[in-house]
């Protein structure tokens, strides 16, 4: 789809997803500071006093079950690694221990109050008591307890308090694509640890794609012998796969952390990895190669051959043996109908089954696979394209193309998982695309993730019950390393964890921002890479006529901004920003946000440019409007827009809406911008794909190129009056959108008012 060192056992530095605490001597205090817990619990009551860790703390288990011992063993591995000793777990005479204890109590009668995954955590003078209806709840109580501890090397003192907590949504997921780029077993386990520490419970593992087949299927060995490897454009061989033993190990590792692994086996599209190995299950018979570029490909599984379904059922049968998950994800997205339209077998199938068209043929394909899954006591889940042509009877929809798919599914009585690209695609940029590492496009920062509400307003209360939760997706077209993957999910995963766990009324963006410094310190302790926001404020080019005021905005509490004026890279010895300053010459300013550890953000580069006011022009008979020339074709940059336009018209503004879903077109807008006074004017575009703004022949905004929705800014010095303004825009595919904004001196950024745009 388009779109280190750990536990001793694995040799990483990362903490296991589960952590317990030792309690000891009481130290009373007159004040209790609020604790920082992510995701925010349902209820916290504070009490005076605190308890401090000692070597003599005992861990009391209410039974010696496999689950209890698993949690205890994870605890002792962590305690030994962090503190140098293990907890004693008394097997007999447990009643003699009443102080300096950690106690787990499973009480099934609490299920009504706490649900399956809820817990109560009480810290008193006697120690810590975690109570839940299941060990799943005990596990999540431990995740909270872990956050009550200071980081390694500090005194482990825990305030007295009582927490009651349970999740808002039953489905709380993270996705990882290992097909576009391969991530090995150790990293997958580390990723699972991140999921667990955020109290999420679903790991959606994307295992097959056009660019590689990543799971061993014993009946079809060529899937990994051929399908797992591609030849890159530079001639190198790239790939990898998971053996069935690898898969079993990962599934068990996740289960120990109460995470269900949901495998995705793509069909009928995104299947070149399989077809390169077994071309007979296509419409044309091939030959095919494993794709070495991103995109949507026309060659898909043939829907007219019964052998195709036998092939897929054999594969799914082996997958089911490896994954106990109720859900099996079959993709179902972005499957072109090109081959089906001319395939004799597919057309024969359409006629035989009384189908209207190829869209209903896709529905037939999905429904047939669903029947097979139901026969195996499993449930089908797919991307929202499975709605096209009619939804399979018991299928669950994953709504990624916005929220419409989730709404439609819920209104039809089907369950849905919300994962819209606008808020839940962690392959999008989370900062300025000119500064951030290469990503697929779009813009989804941590605040946007935190703002997401999974229940659409259009649903009734009964319909809303079908929204099971939400999931974030990490597609890896441009994510080729473990470090970059971590950078893209942290801290956005932390933000999503509150969206799917915490009560809606408990979510507070300002409070969450206060939590970020501690979260960052935790990531560093876990030896995890993470995104640090750059210094805020200003434009990348600051235009001035006399002097420029340079004023940064600190993006996080507890951080510093350091900068240079000579174009050199800022480091821990560079000048510390202490407030706004003026410059009166053209400079290259580089600045970065620095954490207390010395770790820094990407480098913010700002140039200053002195300009004379661009002189206004006179118009003889100005009337409101914008002239637009329309073009049709394939474009990758605005300079590709050439030749005679298809048509010309006059409209009121520069905006283009994604109403008709048109692709492969361009538009060149021409107008005169009337500005009310001399000054510095800022222009912004938000576009999907490229856009460029010229004023009086000067390029002001460069938002060019193939990309998803993203914003770009620029400034220019203008004299009062009319100025020629040209906006060039093109759309390749995947959604057309253009907005143009202006910030006038002393005003805020807004759409350019129609009354400020003229033609002569």
In 257-349 the beta strands, taken as DSSP E runs, fall at 260-267, 327-331
How many other C-beta atoms are found inside a 10 Å radius of the C-beta of residue 720? 13
Whole-Å CA distances, 354 to 348, 349, 358, 371, 388? 10, 8, 11, 19, 16
| pTM for this model (two decimals) | 0.87
End-to-end Cα spacing for the chain: 47
pLDDT in tens, 554-599: 888 889 999 999 999 999 999 999 999 999 999 999 999 999 899 9
Paired tokens of 417: 């998982």
Can you give the pLDDT at residue 392?
A: 76
DSSP-assigned letters across all residues of 540-568: SEEEESS-EEE--B--STT-EEEEESBSP
Class assignment of domain 174-525?
alpha beta
Answer whether CATH 3.30.379.10 is correct for domain 43-165. Answer: yes
Question: Could you tell me which of 157, 151, 182 has the C-alpha nearest to residue 527?
Answer: 151
How does strand 588-594 pair with strand 604-610?
antiparallel
Can you give the pLDDT at residue 17?
A: 35
User: Cβ(106)–Cβ(24) under 8 Å?
Assistant: no
Q: Is the peptide bond before 39 cis (omega within 30 degrees of 0)?
A: yes
Can you give the pLDDT at residue 152?
A: 79
Answer whether CATH 1.10.10 is correct for domain 541-610. Answer: no
pLDDT in tens, 594-652: 998 999 999 999 999 999 999 999 999 999 999 999 999 999 999 999 999 999 999 99
In 412-466 the beta strands, taken as DSSP E runs, fall at 416-418
Low-confidence ranges of the chain (pLDDT < 50): 1-30, 659-660
Paired tokens of 498: 């509150």
Whole-Å CA distances, 115 to 133, 165, 248, 505? 7, 10, 29, 19
Q: Where are the domains of the chain?
A: 43-165, 174-525, 541-610, 623-759
According to CATH, the topology of domain 623-759 is Jelly Rolls (2.60.120)
β-bridge partners, 208: 213
């Amino acid at each position: 789809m388009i779109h280190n060192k750990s536990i001793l056992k694995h040799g990483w530095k990362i903490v296991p997803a589960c952590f317990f605490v030792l309690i000891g001597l009481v130290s009373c205090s007159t004040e209790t500071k609020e604790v920082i817990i992510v995701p925010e619990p349902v209820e916290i009551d504070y009490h005076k006093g605190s308890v401090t860790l000692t070597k003599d703390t005992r861990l009391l288990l209410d039974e010696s079950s496999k689950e209890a011992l698993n949690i205890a063993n994870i605890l002792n591995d962590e305690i030994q690694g962090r503190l140098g000793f293990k907890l004693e777990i008394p097997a007999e005479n447990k009643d003699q221990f009443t102080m300096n204890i950690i106690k787990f109590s499973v009480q099934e009668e609490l299920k009504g109050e706490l649900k399956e995954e809820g817990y109560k955590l009480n810290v008193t003078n006697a120690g810590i008591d975690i109570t839940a209806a299941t060990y799943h709840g005990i596990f999540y109580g431990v995740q909270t307890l872990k956050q009550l501890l200071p980081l390694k090397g500090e005194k482990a003192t825990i305030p007295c308090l009582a927490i009651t907590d349970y999740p808002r949504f039953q489905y709380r997921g993270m996705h990882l694509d290992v097909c576009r780029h391969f991530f090995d077993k150790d990293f997958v386990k580390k990723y699972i640890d991140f999921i667990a520490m955020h109290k999420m419970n679903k790991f959606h593992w994307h295992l097959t794609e056009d660019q590689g087949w990543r799971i061993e299927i014993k009946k079809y060995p060529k899937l990994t012998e051929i399908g797992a490897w591609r030849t890159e454009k530079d001639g190198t061989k790239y790939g990898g796969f998971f053996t069935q033993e690898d898969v079993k190990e990962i599934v068990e590792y996740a289960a120990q952390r109460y995470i269900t692994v949901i495998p995705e086996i793509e069909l009928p599209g995104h299947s070149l990895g399989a077809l390169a190995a077994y071309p007979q299950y296509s419409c044309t018979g091939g030959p095919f190669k494993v794709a070495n570029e991103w995109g949507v490909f026309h060659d898909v599984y043939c829907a007219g051959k019964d052998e195709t379904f036998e092939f897929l059922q054999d594969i799914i049968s082996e997958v089911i043996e490896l994954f106990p998950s109720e859900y099996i994800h079959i993709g179902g997205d972005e499957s072109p109908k090109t081959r089906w339209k001319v395939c004799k077998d597919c057309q024969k199938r359409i006629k035989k089954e009384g189908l209207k068209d190829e869209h209903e043929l896709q529905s037939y394909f999905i429904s047939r696979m669903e029947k097979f899954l139901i026969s195996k006591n499993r449930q089908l889940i797919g991307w929202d394209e499975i709605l096209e042509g009619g939804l399979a009877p018991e299928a669950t929809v994953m709504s990624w193309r916005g929220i419409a798919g989730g709404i439609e599914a819920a209104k039809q009585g089907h369950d849905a998982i919300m994962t819209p690209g606008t808020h839940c695609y962690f392959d999008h940029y989370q900062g300025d695309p000119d500064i951030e590492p290469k990503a697929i496009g779009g813009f989804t920062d941590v605040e946007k993730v935190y703002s997401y509400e999974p229940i659409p307003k259009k649903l009734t209360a009964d319909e809303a019950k079908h929204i099971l939760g939400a999931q974030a997706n990490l597609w890896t077209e441009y994510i080729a390393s473990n470090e970059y993957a971590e950078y893209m999910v942290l801290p956005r995963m932390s933000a999503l964890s509150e969206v799917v766990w915490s009560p809606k009324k408990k979510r507070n963006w300002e409070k969450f921002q206060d939590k970020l410094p501690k979260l960052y310190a935790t990531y560093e302790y876990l030896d995890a890479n993470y995104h640090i926001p750059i210094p805020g404020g200003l434009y990348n080019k600051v235009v001035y006529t006399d002097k420029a005021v340079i004023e940064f905005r600190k993006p996080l509490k507890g951080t510093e901004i350091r900068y240079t004026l000579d174009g050199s890279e800022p480091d821990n010895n560079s000048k510390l920003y202490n407030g706004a300053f003026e410059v009166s010459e053209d400079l290259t300013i580089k600045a970065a946000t620095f954490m207390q550890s010395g770790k820094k953000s990407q480098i913010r580069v700002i140039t200053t440019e002195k300009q004379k006011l661009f002189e206004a022009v006179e118009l003889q008979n100005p009337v409101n409007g914008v002239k637009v020339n329309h073009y049709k074709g394939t474009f990758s940059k605005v300079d590709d827009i050439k030749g005679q336009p298809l048509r010309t018209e006059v409209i009121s503004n520069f905006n283009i809406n994604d109403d008709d879903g048109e692709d492969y077109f361009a538009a060149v807008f021409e107008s005169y911008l009337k500005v009310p006074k001399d000054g510095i004017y800022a222009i912004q575009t938000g576009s999907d794909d490229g856009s460029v703004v010229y004023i009086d022949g000067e390029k002001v905004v460069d938002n060019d190129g193939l990309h998803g929705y993203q914003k770009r800014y620029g400034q220019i010095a203008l004299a009062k009056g009319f100025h020629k303004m040209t906006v060039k825009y093109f759309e390749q595919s995947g959604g057309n959108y253009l907005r143009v904004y202006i910030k006038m001196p002393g005003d805020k950024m807004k759409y350019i008012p129609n009354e400020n745009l003229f033609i002569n």
